[in-house]
Amino acid sequence: MDLRAELLKSIWYAFTALDVEKSGKVSKSQLKVLSHNLYTVLCIPHDPVALEEHFRDDDDGPVSSQGYMPYLNKYILDKVEEGAFVKENFDELCWTLTAKKNYKPDRNGNSIVSHQDAFKLWCLFNFLSEDKYPLVMVPDEVEYLLKKICTAMNVELNSCELDDYLSQEPQGQGGLTVWQFLDMVNSGRFLRGIEQEAISMAVEEVYQEVIEDGYLWKKGQLRRNWSERWFMLKPSVLSYYMSEERKEKKGSIALDKHCCVEVLPDRDGKRCMFCVKTSSRTYEMSASDTRQRQEWTLAIQTAIRLQAEGKKSLHKDLKQKRREQREQREQRKAAKEEETQRLKQLQEEKERKLQELELLKEAQRQAEILLQEEEQRRRQQHEEMQRTLEIQLREAEQARASMQAEMVLKEAEAERQRKRILELEDMQERLQEALQQEVKARQDEEAVRYAQARLLAEEEEKLKQLMKLKEEQEEYIIKTQREKQVLKQEMENKNKCLEEAQKQLEEVRVNRQRVDQDVMAAQRKLRQASTNVKHWNVQMNRLMHPIGPGDKRTNMSGGVFAGYQPFLSRRDSSLK
């Protein structure tokens, strides 16, 4: 019965998606195609005769949901066997039909969840929705689902903001439709600042937790090798397949009250190991991490407990408990509201009687007050009329006095304005004269400047550097009076520079004299050296040519030093 209810929810979405005109009816040709696809995904043998017979062309027109239910129950739902088909393929078929018409993500690609994540949220919505049509999910279940998604991302859900959103969102049948729920998630109001990949992983984790399937490594019984298998957990059986498409079933583990789950130490190169012990065999498995191992061991232990208690699914059991708790809260709330309403009615009755008594007393007091007020009103009218006449008289006298004072002020103001006009005319004439004088002074100043420039040009040939300084001084004189101090400072700096240049020139002259003295000393040393060379040359000639008997002494001046004389004369001239 639970499987039939789950399938009907998805089929209801497919049927309403084909109802284009929203009349509650779908054409026979579309229902024929839908039925054929349901046969395929539910792995039911096709019955083309019954299909053609039920949906033959006639004049009956479209078929309503009530008209389609007999065929759906007899030829499809009654033949469905749990575990004989892949429910995810069945959900994808119904999702494809309904999402094309109703799901409208952001056209700019700014949706928080992807299309595949939206499909998983749609499956979770169907699981948690109420068992009445049109399908809605109550606010408590919406908060439960969002909390599980946020918990998977280690994020805390803002319950106050969610309550504000749900109070503003129009809710039909006491809850949100799946399209309102998807729009709420895609708005990013509760998942702001979180990357799409993190949201996708959280949705996948919650989806796998509810569906109770995933990949594990399993050790073989005969070959004792490790193989990765896709496991699917039900309260009565743990099935495993070749891949997550679940096309090739490799085996199953029957779960009963005699089964148990134990954690194993790491070995054979595998980590995060655990085993499921049955009465006939022990199955060894390995998870990807410690957290996944803990989730699987807890889920299998819960499935064994549910099997012993005769229950079908942990999440369905939790859903039923949450529903019972909501119903109890609603009953307590209704009883409390009924008691409050009854007390409110008694209080209103008591207040009504007290009000009637007060009204009678008030009517008597009002009659007495009216008589007093009438007498007081007549007396006040007389006094008010008298005061009004006196006030009007005083106001008239005050207005007359104020008008006279205002006339005096106006005349005085007019006299001041006339004097002011005369003063302004006089001031205008003086300003015009001053302007003319200023223009003439500027012209004279320009003539003087031109004369100074001509004089400076004549003096430029005499001393260029001094002329440059004077030209700069003349150019600075043309500037405003504000810049005179700066000009003087610059002139002083330039004078200092000129003085420094003269000092440097003196130093150069002194250095030149010192160098000349050094040159003269060098010439003296050179001449001394030349004399010494001549002397040593004579001595060497004597040593190399011994004096024989009867030899005449040769003139040494024409000897060896004769060759050095041109060199010495050239060196002396260069030093000079």
With respect to residue 513, please indicate whether it lies within any of the assigned structural domains.
Answer: no
SS3 content of the chain, % helix, strand, coil (to 5): 70, 10, 25
Is 341 among the domain residues? no
526-535 long-range Cβ contacts below 8 angstroms, 24+ apart: 526/568, 526/571, 526/572, 526/575, 527/568, 527/572, 530/564, 530/568, 533/561, 533/564, 534/561, 534/564
| Furthest-apart CA atoms within the chain: distance in Å | 188
* 42 φ, ψ (degrees, to nearest 5): -90, 0
Does pLDDT of 250 surpass 80?
yes
Q: How confident is the model at residue 214 (pLDDT cuts 50, 70, 90)?
A: low
Residue 575 has pLDDT above 50, yes or no: no
pLDDT tens per residue across span 555-574: 444 444 444 445 445 444 54
Q: Is the peptide bond before 265 cis (omega within 30 degrees of 0)?
A: no
The DSSP bridge pattern shows strands 25-26 and 249-254 to be unpaired
pLDDT at 271: 86
- Provide, rounded to the nearest whole percent, the portion of the chain with pLDDT above 90: 2
Whether residue 258 is predicted with pLDDT greater than 60 in this model: the reply is yes
Average pLDDT over the chain reads: 80
SS3 235: coil
Query: By residue range, what is the domain housing residue 59?
Result: 1-87+96-102
pLDDT for 317: 64
The helix/strand/coil state of 134 is coil
Give the span between the Cα atoms of 465 and 502, in whole angstroms: 12
Please tell me the least confidently modeled range out of 49-63, 117-131, 330-344.
Answer: 49-63
515-534: average pLDDT: 87
pLDDT in tens, 429-445: 888 888 888 888 888 88
- 173: Cα within 13 Å, side-chain hemisphere: 13
Whether residue 391 is predicted with pLDDT greater than 70 in this model: the reply is: yes
5 in a domain, yes or no? yes
Q: What's the pLDDT score for residue 561?
A: 41
Residue 17 main-chain phi, psi, to 5 deg: -70, -35
Task: Supply φ then ψ for residue 463, to 5 degrees.
Answer: -145, 105
Give phi and psi for 369, each to the nearest 5: -65, -35
| CA nearest to 557, candidates 535, 574, 542, 529 | 535
Instruction: Report how far residue 342's alpha carbon sits from residue 348's, in angstroms, rounded to the nearest whole number.
Output: 10
pLDDT value for 554: 45
Which pair of tokens denotes residue 253? 């583990």
Domain count, the chain: 1
Within 8 A by CB and 6+ apart from 314, the residues are: 212, 235, 299, 302, 303, 306
Measured between alpha carbons, how far is 162 from 337 in angstroms, rounded to an integer? 25
* Structure tokens given for 215: 């990949």
End-to-end CA distance of the chain: 132
Residue 81 lies in a domain: yes
List beta partners, residue 238. 233, 253
pLDDT at 103 over 80: yes
Q: Who has greater pLDDT, 477 or 237?
A: 237
Q: Which helix (H) or strand (E) holds 263?
A: strand 260-264
How are beta strands 249-254 and 237-241 bridged, if at all?
antiparallel
pLDDT on residue 312: 58
Checking if the pLDDT of 228 tops 50, the result is: yes
Closest by CA position to 122, among listed 35, 63, 180, 173 = 180
400: in domain: no
Whether 4 is covered by a domain: the verdict is yes
pLDDT of residue 567: 43
319-333 pLDDT, tens per residue? 667 777 777 777 888
Does some domain include residue 53?
Answer: yes
Of 120, 118, 137, nearest to 129 by C-alpha is 137
Task: Give the pLDDT of residue 568.
Answer: 44
More confident residue, 194 or 411: 411
Asked whether 76 and 42 are in contact (CB, 8 A), the reply is yes
In the block, which residue shows the tokens 């009678």? 360
Is residue 256's pLDDT more than 50? yes
pLDDT above 70 (res 401):
yes
Q: Rounded mean pLDDT of 139-163?
A: 81
> Higher pLDDT residue, 187 or 347?
347
Q: How confident is the model at residue 298 (pLDDT cuts 50, 70, 90)?
A: confident
Task: Tell me the pairing of strands 282-286 and 237-241.
Answer: unpaired
User: Can you tell me the mean pLDDT for 150-167?
Assistant: 80
Give the least confident one: 262-266, 311-315, 337-341, 556-560. 556-560
Give the DSSP letter string of 433-476. HHHHHHHHHHHHHHHHHHHHHHHHHHHTTT-HHHHHHHHHHHHH
pLDDT digits 0-9 by tens, 44-101: 888 777 777 777 655 555 777 777 888 888 888 888 887 677 778 888 889 998 888 8
255 near 305, Cβ under 8 Å?
no
Q: How far apart are CA 452 and CA 433, in angstroms?
A: 29
Q: Give me the percent of the chain exceeding a pLDDT of 70.
A: 85
Least trusted range by pLDDT, from 225-234, 246-255, 437-446, 566-575: 566-575
φ/ψ bin of 188: left (φ > 0), alpha (ψ from -120 to 50), beta (otherwise): left
> Would residue 161 count as lying in a domain?
no
Res 365 pLDDT > 80: yes
> How high is the pLDDT of residue 171?
63
Burial of 85 (0-12, 13-18, 19+ CB in 10 A): middle
Taking the C-alpha atoms of residue 54 and residue 75, their distance in angstroms, rounded to an integer, is 11
* Cβ-Cβ contacts under 8 Å for 232 (sequence gap 6 or more): 211, 212, 213, 238, 239, 240, 241, 246
